[in-house]
């Protein structure tokens, strides 16, 4: 391992929820405002969480070469990670907590995308409705 970056494919724990084909497609959406770019930035932040420096310029430079793809499989999904920061790995294996956080981020982004765009129960027209929506979002994240 001479490189400071690693390419890998990871799978979620067996008890994790499976994404529908529509949900996977929305996460893959790389159009302007699509969820792919948001997931990519959040995933890179998770992978850099063990970095001692908090210099945003370093992370922004990494973003140019970093990519993450959701791969649909018959029995679930996998994440293909290209140029992940090396500090997220020990002996070539991704640290379990980092892996768990990546799938949590994916779960939360899928939920928020669906809740904000497709669920009429989420109403942001008043302070009361916004507060209720935020509580529902936080409950889903187990926060």
CATH number for the domain including 57? 3.30.1850.10
pLDDT in tens, 93-130: 999 999 999 999 998 888 888 877 777 777 777 888 88
Which pTM value belongs to this model?
A: 0.81
Residue 80: per-residue pLDDT: 97
Which one has a higher pLDDT value, 4 or 81? 81
Query: Rounded distance, CA 52 to CA 66, Å?
Result: 19
Token pair belonging to 26: 């929305």
DSSP H or E run through 67: strand 67-73
Least Cα distance to 38 among 47, 28, 48 occurs for 28
User: Residue 12: pLDDT above 60?
Assistant: yes
Residue 33: per-residue pLDDT: 67
Q: Name, in order, each residue with C-beta under 8 angstroms of 134's C-beta and a sequence gap of 6 or more.
A: none
Q: How many domains does the chain have?
A: 1
Residue 58: per-residue pLDDT: 79
Residue 1: per-residue pLDDT: 42
Query: Rounded distance, CA 5 to CA 81, Å?
Result: 10
pLDDT in tens, 17-76: 678 888 888 888 877 667 898 899 999 999 999 887 777 787 888 888 999 999 988 778
> Which residues span the domain enclosing 105?
5-140
Residue 86: per-residue pLDDT: 92
Please report how the helices 21-28 and 96-118 are oriented relative to each other, as an axis angle in degrees rounded to 10: 100
């Amino acid at each position: 391992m001479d490189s400071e970056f690693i390419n890998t494919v990871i799978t979620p724990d067996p008890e994790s929820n499976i994404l529908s084909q529509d949900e996977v497609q929305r996460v893959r959406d790389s159009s302007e405002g699509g969820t792919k770019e948001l997931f990519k930035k959040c995933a890179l932040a998770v992978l850099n969480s063990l970095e001692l420096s908090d210099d945003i310029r370093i992370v922004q430079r990494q973003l140019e070469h970093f990519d993450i793809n959701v791969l649909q499989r018959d029995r679930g999904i996998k994440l293909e990670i290209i140029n992940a920061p090396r500090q997220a790995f020990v002996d070539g294996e991704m640290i379990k907590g980092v892996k768990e956080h990546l799938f949590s981020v994916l779960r939360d982004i899928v939920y928020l995308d669906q809740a904000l765009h497709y669920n009429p129960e989420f109403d942001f027209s008043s302070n009361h409705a916004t507060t209720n929506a935020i509580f529902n979002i936080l409950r889903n994240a187990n926060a």
